[in-house]
Structure 1
Amino acid sequence: MSQEVFIVLETIVMLFLVILSGLFLRKGKVLDKNSTTRLSKFVVDVAFPALVFTSMLESIDPQILAQSWYFPLAGIAILILSMIVAYILTPLFKIDTYPQRGSAAFSMGTPNWLFIPLPVAAALYGARGETIVLLVNAGALVAFWSVGVWMVRGYKPDLAMLRSIVLNPGLAATVLGIVVALVFPGAEVLLDPDVTDLTVFTGILSVVVQAIEFLGDVTVPLSMVVTGALLGGAGTKNLFGRGIIVISIFRLLLFPAVLIGLFYGASVFGLHFDRAVSMTLIIISAMPIAVTCSVVAEKYEGDEALVSKGIFITTLMSVLTVPLVVLLVQFLGL
């Protein structure tokens, strides 16, 4: 087993086990519907924006952005194009009613673009891989909190909907983090726990930013616990229903196959990409549904049962599909 395959497997299995813990907590009545709803709101409105803001400070830099400006665009493209294609195709599989259609398209188009790929890319390609994932994250967040929320809500654009999207804490944190990072280059120093060389004001600011980072660190485990709890509340009936299988095939096989085809076609015509770039983007496209999709669907009155089941099944199936995608990329020499 190659190092790439092993790292991916290890991370996915860890993710799946934490989702199971949330399922058992709900079944054991440690969490009920009200506490799960409160937790999901906390994740969406507080923890995730905190994570987003500090990740922008860490990844966005004027010089790096000038050299790698296309990575945020890749993040936007991967999510928006996938969601639009999924939204168009879902009626063919009789997924055509609100809120199911929007939630299904949102799930199909939203891979776990950060929490699994970040440690994998960092382990494989060091700082280069980490930078790629974080810059893709900047664009993906914009798509997630705008088009993604619109998909889940399933409404035609109106002033109230646009206002709710613009004022969304996650999108606001993304924009604020990018602006602060660009206006104040070197702002990532505030994340350094050693404040002895800083001025009093900067030291206090650093402690505040580190507190925000610490708060954001709970996003990943809490999102997984909430996902399991939502699944426990929805039940496991129709866990392998047609809708879930369609979502899983699109999320795990179709979209990465399209991206592999694009990279392979480019290589045929003599356009070769850095291995770290091609492998990282393909790994992102092959990820299971992002765990935060369930808490967003729950908050914005989407079909959280469908999304939670989709996360559970795609995470389970990705133990097989993601290594196969990695092996295919290695075979094609991309």
Structure 2
Amino acid sequence: MSEFKGKLHETAVKFPDTDIWMDSCGEEELNYGLERGITGATSNPIIVGAVVKNELAYWEPRIKKIIADNPTFSEDDVVWKLIDEVGAERSKKLLPLFEQYKGKKGRLSIQTNAKYYRDTDRMVKQAVHLNSLGRNMQVKMPASAAGIRAMEEATYRGISINATVSFTVAQAVAVAEAVERGLARRRSENLPCDEMSPVCTIMIGRTDDWMKAYTSKTGMVVDPECLEWAGVAVIKEAYRIYRQRGYTTRLLSAANRNHYHWSQLIGGDLCQTINFGWQKLLNGCDVEVASRIDEPVSDKIMKELNKISEFQKSFDEKGMEPEEFEYYGGFRSTLVNFLDGYDSLVKVIRGLMV
């Protein structure tokens, strides 16, 4: 019998710098992951909606109490109070890791309102509130121009950030630079930084999704295998730059679509947030657990990818200016997805209020 509880557990044990997170804050999911070496977890309104639906017997009385105790609350007020409660409660499951690793692991990411993606001040204000919900919170903000500004300010205020709605090297570099500016401001005032743990997500599966959508829309014919490697190529390039420049921020991969999104990043000093379904698939697979982070994407694949102008924009550090981030195809589709997910959670609350 293997000493490991699946391939992700083996990854966590053999490559402790490659952190595996659970892309959920559900009770079952967290228990499963913690038994297999996860060191972090993620929430957002879509995830909270799924957790509430899956655990409705537990959360329905809590929701009804929020409604009863706050007679003037709108649906949105109830939703965000619920998100606060879910985040605060489930972050406690990670506290032992947070304490063991002195803030560098064991955090729960919790997301600001996606509707604020153009409003720096609102994001910062909400980030301060979300950070107050627990000692080990990590606040997610979208990597828009306004979000980049908010990340600098939030970092200055001592908040560990997680950049989300991010798909490109340009976004990853802009995030890392913003964090460095925020940390420099803290250090200039002798404020503590040692336990801060910022990360920048690259939603590599959604980078792939956008390449597939773009080539389909434009009628481009490329080797279909290359479309499974776009996100991997992007995050490997961002990782190279991060290591070269010594950024404090660590990269975080997200949105798994194939095993490359895990196996090609093994050995890196980075995080991987993987949803429950993919965790179970990968734990049961027969892919060898071996360091591949420094293996380049093949010349053949890169040649095909470079035929795609949107890939070049994604891969090139100078491919976009921050003011362009929110117009990137993957940004638009993901933001709409997040907003739709929020609306679905509102409908759940509406069903209990009306």
The verdict on a shared fold, with TM-score over 0.5 as the criterion, is no
Higher strand residue share: 2
Higher helix residue share: 1
Q: Normalising by structure 2, what TM-score? A: 0.24
Higher RCO (CA < 8 A, seq sep 6+)? 1
